[in-house]
Amino acid sequence: MKRAELSTGEALVSLLEAYGVDTVFGIPGVHNVEMYRALPRSGIRHILTRHEQGAGFMADGYARVTGKPGICFTITGPGLTNIMTPMGQAWSDSVPMLVLSSALDIADAAQGRGRLHEMTSQRGAALSITAAAVTALTPHDVRDGVAEAFARFASQRPRPAYLELPLDLLKVPAGDDWTARKLPARPNADPRAIADAAALLAEANAPLVLLGGGAVDAGEPALRIAEAIDAVILTTISGKGIVPADHPLCLGARLSQDKIRDVLRRADVILAVGTEISETDLWETKITIPGKLIRIDIDPANLVRPHAAAMPILADAATALAALATALEERGKSPRHSPARSFVRDHLASESAEDDRLRADLRIVLAAIRKALPRDTIVASDMTQIAYAANEIFPMDLPRRWLHPAGFGTLGYALPAAIGARAGRPDLPTAVLVGDYGFQYTINELGTAAELGQPLVILLWNNDALGQIRDDMVNKGIQPNAVTLKNPDFAAIARAYACGYAKPQKLGEIEPAIAAALAADRPTIIEMTPRLLHR
């Protein structure tokens, strides 16, 4: 169908709709209004955020819970630089995100003429945190740039893509052939590699299954494999919930514990799926893995670094694990006795004995929160002590429910990520786990959540400090400094944004506060302090 009557900016919106986009996060500005011309007559919902950083984190949360790419509209210059932190987070945690930014007129780009929002190279800035960064110079460059982004999302490791659209290009006639392209599929594993991997796992004496974020949709075959060989299951933080936390083989995201890293070292065969096995998975910069490593990943680089794989398999996790599970089941159950189930049971039963005072307190609070939240709740967490504890000990039974900024480690992630998650899955209860300091990075997005009428349960842990940094200073012999702050009146902030507010005075008041927040028609801040444990 000819679309010559459409401008390039209008055709862009129609093309996004053709690729299945239903939601865009962003802020209209003087330099990108042409991207908004066709939105009112499209089926795409636009969510107006209070800051471009919020837009990026919302797109991230949307993508993590839906599996679809999060889409952002932003403007030249500061719009791009504001959204680059969320882009970095999405890059680090393998989240599909498409950022569409306006740029200066083609003739004026980076000429130093003092144009509004001028940068030497917007594309250059975006290159370090994107899988693809494209500057469109013709209408068909826009069409092809969008096609490239969606082709990558469909077939490769999901990471952000960036497309910049010069102001003058947005206004010109689009021309024809603006249709969504048929997208490539992810690769299937070599059947011989699957057979060899099955043989290696079946003969193992101490096998281990390690699931990263790349295996988020492969929980069922992963569990079949672990049960066939009686293997302990570990996940990274991004893989939390891939298998139910209460499964007798599951230790969850406990790789940061010394005792669990020893399990990794002692395993003679490790099946690692969709994980970099990186510092932010292990919280150890260097670790030796003596066992034979079978790696399944969609990213070729991950198959060879930083740990040598005895068997690298380039494939989609879900299809490869399904084939591997079938191959193992056809071989029959191994006759050897495995201590995996008893080890998992004993470790979980005795784990709390290793707690320091802070972890013991947080364990109690997190248990109360877990009891109050429905099983299928999405939880978006921030970089804060209560979330670090929860990464390990907060049980999650379903995938795509635990959202944490693991790789890039950005503050301010939780609230906007939860807003985006709720926008993508309005059928699921959604909670925010945040500290008093990080909350203030993106506290303005309370306005977005309130405007949308989202019943977010905002669990605010307020210790009036940068608690983790203070403790790090103490542990390193540094006199704590610049780690205390005068917090705002969070109750007043809740009122200002027309949000609900509760402040439990004792542990038993957490559950009714959460129940009321879940039933509300607006976000609710539930402010918790360490004092509620001692009353």
**Closest listed residue to residue 247, CA positions, set 234, 236, 262, 264:** 234
Does the domain at 355-534 match CATH 3.40.50.150? Answer given as no
Q: Give strand ranges (E) for 369-429.
A: 378-381, 402-403
Give just the sign of the alpha carbon dihedral 291, 397, 457, 57.
Answer: positive
Cis peptide bond N-terminal to 306, omega within 30: yes
User: Three-state DSSP class for 501?
Assistant: strand
Do residues 93 and 82 make contact, with C-beta atoms less than 8 angstroms apart? no
* Res 4: pLDDT: 47
Do residues 101 and 136 make contact, with C-beta atoms less than 8 angstroms apart? no
Average pLDDT by stretches of 10, the chain with 535 residues: 71 97 96 93 97 98 98 95 97 97 77 71 91 95 97 97 94 92 96 97 95 97 96 96 97 93 93 89 76 96 90 97 96 76 96 93 97 98 96 97 94 98 98 97 98 98 89 91 92 98 96 98 97 79
Do residues 458 and 523 make contact, with C-beta atoms less than 8 angstroms apart? yes
Listed in sequence order, the residues at least 6 apart from 313 whose beta carbon sits closer than 8 Å to its beta carbon are 189, 190, 193, 194, 197, 294, 295, 296, 297, 303, 320
Do residues 206 and 229 make contact, with C-beta atoms less than 8 angstroms apart? no
The residues with which 97 forms a beta bridge, in sequence order, are 70
Please provide the DSSP assignment of 337-362 as one string.
---HHHHHHHHHHHGGGG--HHHHHH
Please provide the DSSP assignment of 72-141 as one string.
EEE-TTHHHHHHHHHHHHHHHTT--EEEEEEE--GGGTTS-S--TT--S-HHHHHHTT-SEEEE--SHHH
DSSP state of 2: -
Place of tokens 């839906």: 66
Cα–Cα distance measured from residue 170 to residue 11, given in angstroms and rounded to the nearest whole number: 9
Phi, psi at residue 20, to the nearest 5°? 95, 10
**Closest listed residue to residue 234, CA positions, set 323, 215, 328, 217:** 215
Do residues 43 and 21 make contact, with C-beta atoms less than 8 angstroms apart? no
DSSP state of 173: B
> Thinking of the domain 191-348, which architecture would CATH place it in?
3-Layer(aba) Sandwich (3.40)
Which residue spans of the chain are classified as CATH 3.40.50.970? 8-171, 355-534
CATH superfamily of 8-171: Thiamin diphosphate (ThDP)-binding fold, Pyr/PP domains (3.40.50.970)
Tally of residues, the chain = 535
**Closest listed residue to residue 198, CA positions, set 112, 324, 103:** 324
Cα–Cα distance measured from residue 95 to residue 238, given in angstroms and rounded to the nearest whole number: 10
Distances (CA, A) of 43 to 14, 18, 21, 421: 9, 10, 9, 19
Do residues 414 and 380 make contact, with C-beta atoms less than 8 angstroms apart? yes
